[in-house]
Amino acid sequence: MLLSSLTDRKPDRKVREEAIGHLLLQYGFLSRDTIGESRCSRPIDLLYVGNRKNQVLYAAAFHGMEWITTILMLRFVDELCHAVQNGESMCGVRVGTILNRRGLAVVPCVNPDGVEIQIHGCESAGRYQEMVRDISGGDTIHWQSNASGVDINHNFNAGWEELHEQEQNSGITGPSMTRYGGEYPESEPESRSLASYCRTGNIAHALAFHSQGEEIYWDYGRYRTEEACKMAKALACSCSYKVSRPEGLAVGGGFKDWFVERFQRPAFTIEVGKGTNPLPLEESRNIYLKLKEMLLTGLIL
Protein backbone atom coordinates (compact mmCIF):
# COMPACT_ATOMS: atom_id res chain seq x y z
CA MET A 1 0.00 0.00 0.00
CA LEU A 2 1.14 3.47 -0.83
CA LEU A 3 -0.07 6.12 1.52
CA SER A 4 2.25 5.96 4.51
CA SER A 5 4.14 8.78 2.81
CA LEU A 6 0.97 10.88 2.45
CA THR A 7 0.41 11.08 6.19
CA ASP A 8 3.51 13.22 6.69
CA ARG A 9 2.56 15.72 3.95
CA LYS A 10 -0.42 18.02 3.70
CA PRO A 11 -2.58 16.97 0.73
CA ASP A 12 -2.21 19.97 -1.59
CA ARG A 13 -2.74 19.49 -5.30
CA LYS A 14 0.79 18.21 -5.92
CA VAL A 15 0.57 15.59 -3.18
CA ARG A 16 -2.92 14.52 -4.29
CA GLU A 17 -1.78 14.12 -7.89
CA GLU A 18 1.15 11.99 -6.78
CA ALA A 19 -1.02 9.83 -4.53
CA ILE A 20 -3.84 9.37 -7.05
CA GLY A 21 -1.38 8.65 -9.84
CA HIS A 22 0.23 5.94 -7.74
CA LEU A 23 -3.16 4.46 -6.86
CA LEU A 24 -4.15 4.26 -10.52
CA LEU A 25 -0.83 2.65 -11.42
CA GLN A 26 -1.11 0.14 -8.61
CA TYR A 27 -4.76 -0.84 -9.12
CA GLY A 28 -5.87 -1.26 -12.71
CA PHE A 29 -9.53 -1.66 -11.70
CA LEU A 30 -9.64 1.78 -10.04
CA SER A 31 -10.90 4.59 -12.27
CA ARG A 32 -10.57 8.35 -12.10
CA ASP A 33 -13.00 10.95 -13.45
CA THR A 34 -13.07 14.73 -13.23
CA ILE A 35 -16.55 15.93 -12.28
CA GLY A 36 -15.73 19.63 -12.62
CA GLU A 37 -13.27 22.40 -11.90
CA SER A 38 -12.87 24.91 -9.10
CA ARG A 39 -12.95 28.70 -9.41
CA CYS A 40 -9.20 28.57 -10.09
CA SER A 41 -9.60 25.75 -12.65
CA ARG A 42 -8.26 23.02 -10.39
CA PRO A 43 -9.81 19.62 -11.17
CA ILE A 44 -12.36 18.08 -8.82
CA ASP A 45 -11.43 14.41 -8.94
CA LEU A 46 -13.61 11.37 -8.42
CA LEU A 47 -12.20 7.90 -7.79
CA TYR A 48 -14.37 4.89 -8.47
CA VAL A 49 -14.24 1.18 -7.74
CA GLY A 50 -16.91 -1.51 -8.01
CA ASN A 51 -20.45 -1.68 -9.38
CA ARG A 52 -21.41 1.59 -11.11
CA LYS A 53 -25.14 0.81 -11.11
CA ASN A 54 -25.44 0.87 -7.34
CA GLN A 55 -23.05 3.22 -5.60
CA VAL A 56 -22.23 4.97 -2.35
CA LEU A 57 -20.65 8.42 -2.43
CA TYR A 58 -17.97 9.64 -0.03
CA ALA A 59 -17.00 13.33 -0.33
CA ALA A 60 -14.36 15.22 1.69
CA ALA A 61 -12.58 18.56 2.12
CA PHE A 62 -15.58 20.82 1.61
CA HIS A 63 -13.63 23.27 3.77
CA GLY A 64 -10.06 24.42 3.25
CA MET A 65 -8.71 23.75 6.72
CA GLU A 66 -10.40 20.33 6.90
CA TRP A 67 -7.92 18.79 4.45
CA ILE A 68 -7.22 15.94 6.88
CA THR A 69 -10.41 14.34 5.52
CA THR A 70 -8.71 14.04 2.10
CA ILE A 71 -5.97 11.92 3.66
CA LEU A 72 -8.59 9.65 5.21
CA MET A 73 -10.33 9.13 1.87
CA LEU A 74 -7.14 8.29 -0.01
CA ARG A 75 -5.96 5.92 2.71
CA PHE A 76 -9.29 4.10 2.59
CA VAL A 77 -9.27 3.79 -1.21
CA ASP A 78 -5.74 2.41 -1.01
CA GLU A 79 -6.50 -0.16 1.66
CA LEU A 80 -9.78 -1.18 0.03
CA CYS A 81 -8.16 -1.69 -3.37
CA HIS A 82 -5.22 -3.55 -1.83
CA ALA A 83 -7.64 -5.98 -0.19
CA VAL A 84 -9.51 -6.53 -3.46
CA GLN A 85 -6.34 -7.05 -5.48
CA ASN A 86 -4.96 -9.59 -3.03
CA GLY A 87 -8.22 -11.37 -2.19
CA GLU A 88 -7.95 -10.24 1.43
CA SER A 89 -10.49 -9.13 4.00
CA MET A 90 -10.91 -5.78 5.74
CA CYS A 91 -12.28 -5.89 9.27
CA GLY A 92 -13.32 -9.47 8.56
CA VAL A 93 -15.23 -8.57 5.40
CA ARG A 94 -14.45 -9.91 1.90
CA VAL A 95 -14.60 -6.55 0.20
CA GLY A 96 -14.34 -7.93 -3.33
CA THR A 97 -17.76 -9.53 -2.93
CA ILE A 98 -19.22 -6.29 -1.56
CA LEU A 99 -17.88 -4.25 -4.49
CA ASN A 100 -19.46 -6.63 -6.99
CA ARG A 101 -22.80 -5.60 -5.50
CA ARG A 102 -22.11 -1.96 -4.73
CA GLY A 103 -19.58 0.56 -5.98
CA LEU A 104 -17.76 3.29 -4.12
CA ALA A 105 -17.37 6.78 -5.56
CA VAL A 106 -14.96 9.05 -3.67
CA VAL A 107 -14.44 12.79 -4.12
CA PRO A 108 -11.29 13.29 -2.01
CA CYS A 109 -11.28 17.09 -2.28
CA VAL A 110 -14.49 18.99 -3.07
CA ASN A 111 -12.81 22.37 -2.49
CA PRO A 112 -9.31 22.21 -4.01
CA ASP A 113 -8.82 25.99 -4.02
CA GLY A 114 -9.71 26.29 -0.34
CA VAL A 115 -7.26 23.55 0.58
CA GLU A 116 -4.51 25.16 -1.48
CA ILE A 117 -5.18 28.59 0.06
CA GLN A 118 -5.16 27.21 3.60
CA ILE A 119 -1.89 25.35 3.06
CA HIS A 120 0.03 27.78 0.84
CA GLY A 121 -1.55 31.19 1.44
CA CYS A 122 -3.19 33.96 -0.55
CA GLU A 123 -1.00 33.56 -3.63
CA SER A 124 -2.68 30.20 -4.29
CA ALA A 125 -5.96 31.99 -5.06
CA GLY A 126 -4.85 33.18 -8.50
CA ARG A 127 -7.00 36.09 -9.69
CA TYR A 128 -8.77 36.09 -6.31
CA GLN A 129 -5.61 36.54 -4.26
CA GLU A 130 -6.12 40.22 -3.44
CA MET A 131 -9.65 39.54 -2.21
CA VAL A 132 -8.42 36.58 -0.16
CA ARG A 133 -5.66 38.74 1.32
CA ASP A 134 -8.14 41.48 2.23
CA ILE A 135 -10.54 39.02 3.86
CA SER A 136 -7.90 37.05 5.75
CA GLY A 137 -5.50 39.84 6.56
CA GLY A 138 -2.83 37.62 5.01
CA ASP A 139 -3.37 34.78 7.51
CA THR A 140 -5.16 31.84 5.87
CA ILE A 141 -4.66 29.23 8.60
CA HIS A 142 -8.42 29.21 9.28
CA TRP A 143 -9.56 29.53 5.65
CA GLN A 144 -12.67 27.44 4.98
CA SER A 145 -14.21 28.92 1.83
CA ASN A 146 -13.36 28.57 -1.84
CA ALA A 147 -11.26 31.14 -3.73
CA SER A 148 -14.19 33.53 -4.11
CA GLY A 149 -14.94 33.54 -0.39
CA VAL A 150 -17.98 31.25 -0.50
CA ASP A 151 -18.41 28.46 2.03
CA ILE A 152 -19.17 25.45 -0.17
CA ASN A 153 -21.15 23.73 2.58
CA HIS A 154 -23.48 26.75 2.77
CA ASN A 155 -24.03 26.83 -0.99
CA PHE A 156 -26.41 23.90 -1.57
CA ASN A 157 -30.13 24.39 -2.16
CA ALA A 158 -31.57 23.19 1.15
CA GLY A 159 -33.03 25.87 3.38
CA TRP A 160 -30.63 28.27 1.68
CA GLU A 161 -32.81 31.37 2.05
CA GLU A 162 -33.30 30.85 5.79
CA LEU A 163 -29.59 30.21 6.26
CA HIS A 164 -28.72 33.27 4.17
CA GLU A 165 -30.88 35.40 6.47
CA GLN A 166 -29.12 33.94 9.51
CA GLU A 167 -25.76 34.72 7.95
CA GLN A 168 -26.76 38.35 7.40
CA ASN A 169 -28.09 38.62 10.96
CA SER A 170 -24.70 37.35 12.12
CA GLY A 171 -22.91 40.04 10.12
CA ILE A 172 -21.82 37.77 7.25
CA THR A 173 -22.95 39.76 4.22
CA GLY A 174 -20.31 38.98 1.61
CA PRO A 175 -17.24 36.88 0.81
CA SER A 176 -15.69 35.57 4.00
CA MET A 177 -13.27 32.96 5.33
CA THR A 178 -16.27 30.89 6.41
CA ARG A 179 -20.07 30.67 6.48
CA TYR A 180 -20.94 32.92 3.55
CA GLY A 181 -23.36 30.95 1.36
CA GLY A 182 -22.90 32.89 -1.87
CA GLU A 183 -25.34 34.90 -3.96
CA TYR A 184 -27.62 31.93 -4.66
CA PRO A 185 -27.59 28.13 -4.28
CA GLU A 186 -24.98 26.36 -6.41
CA SER A 187 -23.44 29.68 -7.41
CA GLU A 188 -20.02 28.01 -7.08
CA PRO A 189 -18.56 25.47 -9.52
CA GLU A 190 -17.52 23.20 -6.67
CA SER A 191 -21.04 22.73 -5.24
CA ARG A 192 -22.54 22.68 -8.73
CA SER A 193 -20.17 19.92 -9.85
CA LEU A 194 -20.92 17.69 -6.88
CA ALA A 195 -24.68 18.24 -7.16
CA SER A 196 -24.59 17.51 -10.89
CA TYR A 197 -22.80 14.23 -10.28
CA CYS A 198 -25.43 13.24 -7.72
CA ARG A 199 -28.23 14.03 -10.15
CA THR A 200 -26.78 11.73 -12.81
CA GLY A 201 -25.53 8.93 -10.55
CA ASN A 202 -27.38 6.03 -8.95
CA ILE A 203 -26.37 6.81 -5.38
CA ALA A 204 -27.91 4.74 -2.58
CA HIS A 205 -26.57 7.04 0.14
CA ALA A 206 -23.82 9.59 0.70
CA LEU A 207 -21.31 10.47 3.42
CA ALA A 208 -19.81 13.95 3.72
CA PHE A 209 -16.62 14.22 5.79
CA HIS A 210 -15.72 17.25 7.90
CA SER A 211 -13.72 17.91 11.05
CA GLN A 212 -13.98 17.94 14.01
CA GLY A 213 -16.03 16.60 16.95
CA GLU A 214 -16.46 12.81 16.47
CA GLU A 215 -20.14 13.29 15.67
CA ILE A 216 -22.52 12.01 13.00
CA TYR A 217 -25.48 14.01 11.66
CA TRP A 218 -28.19 12.25 9.68
CA ASP A 219 -31.55 14.06 9.58
CA TYR A 220 -32.73 17.28 7.98
CA GLY A 221 -36.12 18.98 7.96
CA ARG A 222 -38.91 16.43 7.61
CA TYR A 223 -36.52 13.68 6.55
CA ARG A 224 -36.34 11.43 9.61
CA THR A 225 -36.77 7.87 8.37
CA GLU A 226 -36.25 4.86 10.60
CA GLU A 227 -33.83 3.43 8.02
CA ALA A 228 -31.58 6.50 8.11
CA CYS A 229 -31.64 6.62 11.91
CA LYS A 230 -30.61 2.96 12.15
CA MET A 231 -27.83 3.53 9.62
CA ALA A 232 -26.52 6.51 11.60
CA LYS A 233 -26.46 4.43 14.78
CA ALA A 234 -24.64 1.61 13.00
CA LEU A 235 -22.04 4.04 11.66
CA ALA A 236 -21.59 5.60 15.09
CA CYS A 237 -21.30 2.23 16.82
CA SER A 238 -18.53 1.14 14.45
CA CYS A 239 -16.27 4.07 15.38
CA SER A 240 -17.54 5.16 18.83
CA TYR A 241 -18.73 8.49 17.47
CA LYS A 242 -21.88 10.22 18.75
CA VAL A 243 -25.11 10.60 16.78
CA SER A 244 -25.98 14.26 17.14
CA ARG A 245 -27.76 17.22 15.52
CA PRO A 246 -26.15 20.47 14.30
CA GLU A 247 -27.38 23.85 15.45
CA GLY A 248 -27.54 27.45 14.26
CA LEU A 249 -25.52 28.31 11.18
CA ALA A 250 -24.60 24.63 10.77
CA VAL A 251 -28.19 23.83 9.72
CA GLY A 252 -29.18 24.13 6.06
CA GLY A 253 -27.19 24.90 2.95
CA GLY A 254 -25.02 21.81 3.34
CA PHE A 255 -24.45 18.89 1.02
CA LYS A 256 -25.99 16.33 3.39
CA ASP A 257 -29.07 18.51 3.84
CA TRP A 258 -29.48 18.97 0.10
CA PHE A 259 -28.99 15.27 -0.69
CA VAL A 260 -31.63 14.00 1.73
CA GLU A 261 -34.13 16.68 0.71
CA ARG A 262 -33.53 16.31 -3.03
CA PHE A 263 -33.45 12.50 -3.25
CA GLN A 264 -35.21 11.39 -0.04
CA ARG A 265 -32.32 9.02 0.56
CA PRO A 266 -29.96 8.73 3.52
CA ALA A 267 -26.93 10.99 3.80
CA PHE A 268 -24.63 11.65 6.72
CA THR A 269 -22.17 14.28 7.87
CA ILE A 270 -19.20 12.74 9.65
CA GLU A 271 -17.22 15.11 11.87
CA VAL A 272 -13.89 13.32 12.24
CA GLY A 273 -11.37 13.68 15.03
CA LYS A 274 -11.32 15.97 18.03
CA GLY A 275 -9.44 19.17 18.69
CA THR A 276 -9.03 22.49 16.93
CA ASN A 277 -9.10 22.87 13.14
CA PRO A 278 -6.92 22.38 11.27
CA LEU A 279 -6.33 19.09 13.05
CA PRO A 280 -2.64 18.19 13.29
CA LEU A 281 -1.25 16.19 10.39
CA GLU A 282 0.22 13.62 12.77
CA GLU A 283 -3.30 12.79 14.02
CA SER A 284 -4.42 11.46 10.63
CA ARG A 285 -3.25 7.90 11.24
CA ASN A 286 -5.04 7.54 14.58
CA ILE A 287 -8.20 9.12 13.19
CA TYR A 288 -8.13 6.72 10.26
CA LEU A 289 -7.62 3.65 12.43
CA LYS A 290 -10.62 4.62 14.55
CA LEU A 291 -12.69 5.38 11.46
CA LYS A 292 -11.74 2.45 9.19
CA GLU A 293 -14.49 0.09 10.26
CA MET A 294 -17.05 2.89 9.87
CA LEU A 295 -15.83 3.63 6.35
CA LEU A 296 -16.36 -0.02 5.47
CA THR A 297 -19.74 -0.09 7.22
CA GLY A 298 -20.87 2.89 5.14
CA LEU A 299 -20.17 0.88 2.00
CA ILE A 300 -22.01 -2.22 3.21
CA LEU A 301 -25.21 -0.65 4.62
Residue 246 φ then ψ, to 5°: -70, 165
Mean pLDDT by 10 residues, the chain (301 residues): 70 96 96 98 98 96 98 96 95 93 97 98 98 98 98 96 92 96 98 97 95 96 89 97 82 91 96 97 95 97 92
Q: Tell me, what's the pLDDT at 221?
A: 85
Is residue 162 in some structural domain?
Answer: no
- When divided into structural domains, the chain yields a total of 1
pTM of the model: 0.97
50 Cβ contact list (under 8 Å, min separation 6): 98, 99, 100, 102, 103, 104
What is the domain extent for residue 221? 6-115+185-300
Looking at residue 4, its pLDDT comes to 61
Strands (E), 69-214: 89-90, 93-94, 103-107, 203-211
Model pLDDT, residue 224: 82
Q: What are phi and psi of 165, to 5 degrees?
A: -65, -40
Report the candidate in 198, 233, 236 with the shortest Cα–Cα distance to residue 214: 236
> What does the alpha-carbon distance between residue 186 and residue 165 come to, in Å, rounded to a whole number?
17
Beta bridge partners of 46: 33
- Residue 271, beta-bridge partner list: 210, 215
Q: What pLDDT, on a 0 to 100 scale, did the predictor assign at position 127? A: 97
Q: How much is the pLDDT for 294?
A: 98
Residue 252 has a pLDDT of 78
Q: Tell me, what CATH number does 226's domain have?
A: 3.40.630.10
Q: What integer pLDDT is reported at residue 5 of this predicted model?
A: 63
* pLDDT for the residue numbered 247: 74
In-domain check, residue 258: yes
